[in-house]
Amino acid sequence: MKHDKTSGNRIWLGFIGGGILATVLGFCALDLAPLQASAPVFGVMLLLTGGMVSCLAGAVGMAGMLAWIPGMADEHAERPR
């Protein structure tokens, strides 16, 4: 398990996958909403922006720029290069 290079990226892949799912749900809700209804606009906005922010956080995390999060710095220090 020490030489498993995918376990550190698994959480970031989860962020990206969840972000893609939320963004797709937001676009689907946007397409299904009738033109007169303005109630789901806030929910659609949250799904779209939340999904995109989650994808961005996953990409930045996979790049190794989020090592300041508690617990993540220790994981990167133990990895052999």
Alpha-carbon span 51 to 20, nearest angstrom: 6
Alpha-carbon span 13 to 11, nearest angstrom: 5
Burial 48-78, CB ≥16 within 10 A → b, else e: beebeebbebbeebbeeeeeeeeeeeeeeee
Q: Give the per-residue pLDDT at 16.
A: 92
Enter the DSSP assignment of 35.
S
> Which one is predicted more confidently, 18 or 5?
18
Would you list the domain boundaries of the chain? 7-78
The string of pLDDT tens digits covering residues 26-58 is 888 876 656 665 556 788 889 899 999 999 999
Sequence-distant (6+) residues with CB within 8 A of 70 are: none
